[in-house]
Amino acid sequence: MSGLSRDVLKWLQSLDLSIQMRNPKWDFSNGYLIAEIFSWYFPQDILMHSFYNGESLELKKRNWYLLKNFILKNMLDLQMEDIDGTIHCREGAAVQLIENLYELLTNRKIKKYQLDTEKDYTDYAYQQSLPLHARSTAAKALKNNLRLTEILADQNLITAAQKPCWVSERTVLKSQKIINEHIEHRRQERREYPKRFGIKPTLGDRCLRRAEPTEKIQSAHSQTSNPADMLSELEAETMSEGAMTREPSIHYKEVEVKQMDKSAFYQLPLQSY
């Protein structure tokens, strides 16, 4: 029952479900309790004799096939990623699904804390908390983020055949997606810690970069329609930019020099020694 808020727990207890919940991650995986919750609000559409309470993969696929058709038929605002995560027992997926059901069926809101990271059911947040030498390799990332039940439930994850659009919004090759994300994370680590990987900056990296000038003239062209206004605004902008970038002017003072009259030297008598 960990992870569920107090309001959601009281709501689930008021429904008088046939199975006592201990861990949402495992109790909601087969879809039987989800169908029982829907049967309280849609008794004519959800008939409990069509669902089975078991742990086998075939029973899970049968129950969730009926539930997905019901969700699409009634256009309920539920994320297929949460449903797939609940089926394959991903951490936090069942709690998110139950909270969405609570808000959808009771028209109430749950006070939540906004997370800094986006919601995903991978181990990326856990890997970021580990030191660099302890983070998973590509093979380990596949093992952690791809469950065996996903491969058994859908062989298209391996054969690359396209899945129906109502099943999930995941990519066709989930294994390839996990590898691509792992490669991108490794590239990010190399950019953040170049010394650890022995990366030396190139000459282009060492050069100083100047900020590109903002295109104010084009925005002024699109906003003004009168040519006279456009000319006056352009002149004002150029004058203001020139005044800001021009160096301070230096004033020079003219100095007058009184020179001697050289003609007086030629009039002097010559002296002989």
Buried b (16+ CB within 10 A) or exposed e, 117-154: eeeebbbbeebeeeeeeebbeeeebbeebbeeebeebb
Given a cut of 50, whether residue 166 has pLDDT beyond it is no
**Residue 184 structure tokens:** 């991108």
User: What is the average per-residue pLDDT within 34-54?
Assistant: 91
Q: Show the CA angle centred on residue 80, arms to residues 103 and 87, nearest 5°.
A: 95
Estimate to the nearest angstrom the gap between the alpha carbon of 133 and the chain centroid: 25
Position with higher pLDDT, 204 vs 40? 40
Provide the pLDDT confidence category of residue 133 given band limits of 50, 70 and 90.
Answer: confident
User: What is the average per-residue pLDDT within 66-93?
Assistant: 89
Among residues 151, 208, 149, the alpha carbon closest in space to that of 174 is found at: 151
Residues 19, 27 contacting (CB under 8 angstroms): yes
Given a cut of 70, whether residue 267 has pLDDT beyond it is no
Given a cut of 60, whether residue 240 has pLDDT beyond it is no
Residues 64 and 34: their CA atoms lie apart, in Å, by: 9
Phi, psi of 255 (to 5 degrees): -110, 125
Provide the pLDDT confidence category of residue 253 given band limits of 50, 70 and 90.
Answer: confident
User: What is the average per-residue pLDDT within 126-153?
Assistant: 84
What does pLDDT average to over the chain? 77
Residues 63 and 76: their CA atoms lie apart, in Å, by: 17
Given a cut of 90, whether residue 67 has pLDDT beyond it is yes
With residues binned 3-state (H G I as helix, E B as strand, rest as coil), the percentages for the chain, rounded to 5, are: 55, 0, 45
- What Cα–Cα distance (Å) separates residue 76 from each residue in 67, 79, 89, 122, 168? 11, 9, 22, 25, 15
**Residue 230 structure tokens:** 């456009």
pLDDT for the residue numbered 40:
92
